[in-house]
A and B are shown apart, each in its own frame.
Chain A
Amino acid sequence: MSTETVIAFIEQRENEIKKASLEALSVCVKLADKSNKKSIAVLVGGTFDSYDKISATGVRKIIHVTSPELNLYSASAYAEIFANICKEETATLVFFANTLLGKDLAPRISVRLEAGIGMDCVDLTSEGQEFIATRPIFAGKALQQFQVLTKIKIFSLRPNVFPVVTPGSSPDLETVRKDSANNNLAIKVSELKKASGKMDVSEADIIVSGGRGMKGPEHFPLIETLADTLGAAVGASRAVVDAGWRPHGEQVGQTGKTVSPTLYFACGISGAIQHLAGMSSSKFIVAINKDKDAPIFSVADYGIVGDLFEILPLLTEEIKRVKS
């Protein structure tokens, strides 16, 4: 076996392993096995009794770097620790999940490792040592296919695109736990403020979005009730965010969040090009709009032309009925 390795960064928040990290790890393990290199998962911070979720991917080595100082993200400390591990383990290929943490950390690591980097990749194919990656640009209005030219290559993978593969624990799994002292805390998260119980559009499997057709902020409970019934996140178009009806964190589109959930409901959203760019890679799209010529119908799998003030309550009731 080669001494070179393939490493995935594993993100934890409040001792929860991010699913997107397991997706990146699954790609890491597959490509490591294919090239006869050791796959390594590197987890920073948190306290864990077992690493079941990580080991289930068949990874060969788990390195967990711990310190109470590292439970919350510190860009400076994480960058130093993770880059050093990549060097010690002679990583030639490094994976991140393109979460808010991954987006922050991966470019820092690329400078430290003198590695070329591809952010937000949605496809990766390998041919021997060569990799061809694909990433959306212009929020998905086009795609770019590229190769990384440096010896060490870094790919940050879009969440919810690559599957988590769990062949089970590797028979020769090695687990290393290291305490970390003298951490570089020049940049440090001092507090985590959670939005009150709300799910974020960037992590949701189902999103229910409302647009100008909702006619006012007072009608958004219709959207919220449907979202609650589905266990979905609430999204919004730029028009309603700019009008102050909804917080900007809910905005989906080119100047908001680019999302690719399993199911996306566009309610009273006409489908401006910058909105379509941000959501058209959703697996299934439902459009409800009174204008039959609205561009949103061109990307919808299912559409209802009609009055959403009548349709949304009916839809909520019907879903409740089917689910019970």
Chain B
Amino acid sequence: MNIGVCISHVPDTASKIKLSEDHSGIDYTGVPFIINPYDEFAMEEALKTKEKSGGTTYALSLGKDTVKESLRKALATGIDEAVHIKTELELDSFSVAKNLAEEIKALNLELLFLGKQSVDFDSGSVGQMLSELLGMNCITNCVSLEINGTEIKAEREIEGGREVVVTALPAIITAQKGLNEPRYASLKGIMAAKKKTIAEKEAVFTDSRINVLKYLSPQGKSSGKILGSDAGGVKELVRLLKEEAKVL
């Protein structure tokens, strides 16, 4: 079985996000980038599935040349092949899905994993869009997965519980934290990955269905009230919550 994993190259979650001076974009200067944390779970599930059922694993990433760093890490962790779909543009979810769909068809992928969302633009849409474009069955936000032959049983996290979802291959699974424990790349893997070639394709769909007008910083809060650390402070806190904030 050909198994794919889509990887986003995103700013480290510990980094601050600075806007460009004219607010037309994000200033990524000096910001360290990582594999999108949810894609780590997706990648681990792709590797586990291959270990169980055999096949070839492919990592796909779309973006500037820097995304190769994350693809190289995927290879080091055990992914067999990597494909870089090149574009300098900030595409919307639909254009990203259209470009990925072309490559997924070309590679004849039967099972595809993605993180439930990228922690940069947070849309969480590409998996579902791919499923519509490719006629693959998509289950989002998965915290457990069983594959038996062509049958799939997954649990997806919802508000206050889980849904047990059944479907069949070909399928797309988007990973939520809790699906598995991602492995680390081994030294041997890191060395081997250095020698591997990353295939390059050009992004062909570049029409965006949305037009970003500007970026804004969230409104800062004015500093709050610090209350005493004794029983009096607690009483005052409860009074403020009741009378000033009116939330009790």
Interface residues of A (CB under 8 A from B): 72-73, 75-76, 79, 99-101, 103-108, 110-112, 115-120, 132, 134-150, 186-195, 198-200, 202-203, 206, 230, 247-249, 251, 253-256, 258, 262-263, 272-274, 277, 280-281, 283-287, 292, 297-307, 311, 314-315, 318-319, 322-323
Contact string against A for B residues 94-133, beta-carbon threshold 8 Å, 1 for contact and 0 otherwise: 1001000000000000000000000111111111110111
Whether A149 and B13, one on each chain, are in contact in the complex, defined by CB atoms closer than 8 angstroms, is: no
Whether A297 and B224, one on each chain, are in contact in the complex, defined by CB atoms closer than 8 angstroms, is: yes
Query: Shortest Cβ distance from B40 into chain A, in angstroms?
Result: 10
Please name all residues of chain A whose beta carbon is closer than 8 Å to the beta carbon of B227 when the two chains form the complex: 302-304
Whether B229 and A304, one on each chain, are in contact in the complex, defined by CB atoms closer than 8 angstroms, is: yes
Whether A302 and B237, one on each chain, are in contact in the complex, defined by CB atoms closer than 8 angstroms, is: yes
When C-beta atoms are compared, the residue in chain B nearest to A108 turns out to be B128
Q: When A and B form their complex, which 8 residue pairs have the shortest distance between CB atoms, in order from nearest?
A: A306-B229, A116-B209, A107-B125, A111-B132, A107-B128, A200-B160, A141-B17, A191-B164
Interchain CB contact (< 8 A) of A141 among B129, B162, B218:
B218
From 204 to 219 in chain B, residues with beta carbon under 8 angstroms from any chain A beta carbon are: 208-218
With A142-B217, A284-B241, A314-B231: A187-B209 Cβ-Cβ less than 8 Å: no
Give the size category of B's interface with A. Answer: 35 or more
The stretch that binds A, out of B70-78, B79-87, B138-146, B185-193, is B138-146
Report Cα–Cα, A110/B132, bound state, in Å. 10
Report Cα–Cα, A280/B217, bound state, in Å. 13
Interchain CB contact (< 8 A) of B218 among A116, A189, A262, A280:
A280
Whether B161 and A119, one on each chain, are in contact in the complex, defined by CB atoms closer than 8 angstroms, is: no
Please name all residues of chain A whose beta carbon is closer than 8 Å to the beta carbon of B240 when the two chains form the complex: 302
The stretch that binds A, out of B55-63, B150-158, B194-202, is B150-158
Report Cα–Cα, A116/B207, bound state, in Å. 11
Please name all residues of chain B whose beta carbon is closer than 8 Å to the beta carbon of A186 when the two chains form the complex: 137, 167-168
Please name all residues of chain B whose beta carbon is closer than 8 Å to the beta carbon of A135 when the two chains form the complex: 122
Interchain CB contact (< 8 A) of B177 among A118, A198, A200, A255:
A255
Whether B165 and A187, one on each chain, are in contact in the complex, defined by CB atoms closer than 8 angstroms, is: yes
Query: Shortest Cβ distance from B83 into chain A, in angstroms?
Result: 22
Query: Shortest Cβ distance from A249 into chain B, in angstroms?
Result: 6
With A100-B157, A143-B216: A274-B13 Cβ-Cβ less than 8 Å: yes
Whether B124 and A103, one on each chain, are in contact in the complex, defined by CB atoms closer than 8 angstroms, is: yes
Q: A108-B138, A118-B210, A318-B234 are in contact. List 19 more A-B contacts (CB 8 A).
A: A100-B156, A107-B124, A111-B97, A112-B132, A119-B122, A132-B213, A140-B218, A188-B166, A192-B161, A249-B157, A255-B37, A273-B14, A286-B237, A297-B224, A301-B225, A304-B227, A304-B228, A304-B229, A318-B237
Total of A-B residue pairs, C-beta within 8 Å: 263
Q: Mostly helix, strand, loop or mixed at chain B's interface?
A: mixed
When C-beta atoms are compared, the residue in chain B nearest to A134 turns out to be B216
Whether A301 and B19, one on each chain, are in contact in the complex, defined by CB atoms closer than 8 angstroms, is: no
Interchain CB contact (< 8 A) of A322 among B133, B238, B245:
B238
Whether B160 and A203, one on each chain, are in contact in the complex, defined by CB atoms closer than 8 angstroms, is: yes
Whether B211 and A149, one on each chain, are in contact in the complex, defined by CB atoms closer than 8 angstroms, is: yes
With A142-B26, A189-B164: A299-B215 Cβ-Cβ less than 8 Å: no
Please name all residues of chain B whose beta carbon is closer than 8 Å to the beta carbon of A72 when the two chains form the complex: 163
When C-beta atoms are compared, the residue in chain B nearest to A193 turns out to be B162
- B16 within 8 Å of A (CB atoms): yes
Could you list 26 examples of A-B contacts with CB < 8 Å? A103-B124, A103-B140, A105-B128, A107-B93, A107-B132, A108-B129, A117-B93, A132-B213, A134-B216, A139-B13, A142-B26, A143-B218, A147-B211, A186-B137, A188-B165, A188-B167, A190-B153, A193-B164, A249-B157, A253-B13, A263-B245, A284-B241, A302-B237, A318-B235, A318-B237, A318-B238
Query: Shortest Cβ distance from A212 into chain B, in angstroms?
Result: 16
Report Cα–Cα, A292/B233, bound state, in Å. 15
Please name all residues of chain A whose beta carbon is closer than 8 Å to the beta carbon of B229 when the two chains form the complex: 304-307, 311
Report Cα–Cα, A149/B92, bound state, in Å. 12
- B178 within 8 Å of A (CB atoms): yes
Whether A142 and B17, one on each chain, are in contact in the complex, defined by CB atoms closer than 8 angstroms, is: yes
Please name all residues of chain A whose beta carbon is closer than 8 Å to the beta carbon of B228 when the two chains form the complex: 304
Please name all residues of chain B whose beta carbon is closer than 8 Å to the beta carbon of A230 when the two chains form the complex: 248
Report Cα–Cα, A263/B122, bound state, in Å. 24
Query: Shortest Cβ distance from A204 into chain B, in angstroms?
Result: 9
Whether B137 and A187, one on each chain, are in contact in the complex, defined by CB atoms closer than 8 angstroms, is: yes
Interchain CB contact (< 8 A) of B163 among A112, A120, A149, A191:
A191
Please name all residues of chain A whose beta carbon is closer than 8 Å to the beta carbon of B52 when the two chains form the complex: none
Whether B16 and A273, one on each chain, are in contact in the complex, defined by CB atoms closer than 8 angstroms, is: yes
Report Cα–Cα, A303/B162, bound state, in Å. 35
Interchain CB contact (< 8 A) of B120 among A138, A147, A283, A300:
A138
Report Cα–Cα, A191/B162, bound state, in Å. 8
With A100-B157, A118-B210, A303-B224: A323-B248 Cβ-Cβ less than 8 Å: yes
